[in-house]
Amino acid sequence: LPSIRELVGNEDVQWASPGNPESLANAIIAIASDIPRAAAMGARFYELSARYTWQERGRRVKSVLSNVTGNFR
């Protein structure tokens, strides 16, 4: 998924090949066998998700409009 690859780095995810059950199984095993890494990935995604709430998106749109118009409220 190209759009997701723009948001996360290789240290943030365990990629699996689409349509490849063995690849998915290997990814799950890799995460399940490294609990500290899985915990770090979860914490990172929790932080990342805060940037993509509707409230945060609205704040950013408002900021852009304010910069363009000089007084958008």
Q: pLDDT by residue (tens digit) across 10-54?
A: 778 898 999 999 999 999 999 999 999 999 999 988 988 888 889
Q: What share of the chain is helix, strand, coil (3-state, %, to 5)?
A: 70, 0, 30
Structure confidence at residue 21 (pLDDT): 97
pTM over 0.75: no
pLDDT at 73 over 70: no
* C-alpha neighbours within 13 Å on the C-beta side of residue 56: 7
Looking up tokens 């000089």 gives: 70
